Amino acid sequence: NAGVTQTPKFRILKIGQSMTLQCAQDMNHNYMYWYRQDPGMGLKLIYYSVGAGITDKGEVPNGYNVSRSTTEDFPLRLELAAPSQTSVYFCASSLFRGAYEQYFGPGTRLTVT
């Protein structure tokens, strides 16, 4: 099992550009999450999904969009990149909700200049 995979690993965007961060998991987990981690900070939840076709906003959803057409994939879309979106983005998945382990991908380091 590859676990949770993310691409790309690094990306530099110009202000106003768009991009999609890819996330896939092969553990057949229902729950998937997108977080951002700023330097010296913990993880902030952007969006999450409880199953294919169902998504919901987290703490910091503005400027992002998600879709969940399959159990395996949960892409994160940035439509108009802004410097405030410079961060490390982590995708995670879990089998059930609540006190169950979340498995994290290796992260995507995004810089917007």
Partner 1 sequence: TQLLEQSPQFLSIQEGENLTVYCNSSSVFSSLQWYRQEPGEGPVLLVTVVTGGEVKKLKRLTFQFGDARKDSSLHITAAQPGDTGLYLCAGTSGSRLTFGEGTQLTVNP
Query: Tokens representing 2?
Result: 């590859």
Query: Binding residue for partner 1 (CB under 8 A) from 34, 78, 81, 107?
Result: 107
> Rounded distance, CA 100 to CA 39, Å?
26
Per CB under 8 A, the list member of 27, 67, 75, 104 interacting with partner 1 is 104
Q: For residue 75, what is the DSSP state? A: -
Interface with partner 1 includes 32 (CB under 8 A)?
A: no
Which one among 43, 76, 110, 112 touches partner 1, defined by CB under 8 A?
Answer: 43
39 makes contact with partner 1 (CB under 8 A): no
Strands across the sheet containing 76-78? 4-7, 19-25, 76-78, 64-66
Whether 7 contacts 106, CB under 8 Å: no
- Which residues contact partner 1 by CB under 8 A? 4, 31, 33, 35, 40-45, 48, 50, 58-59, 90, 92, 97-102, 104-107
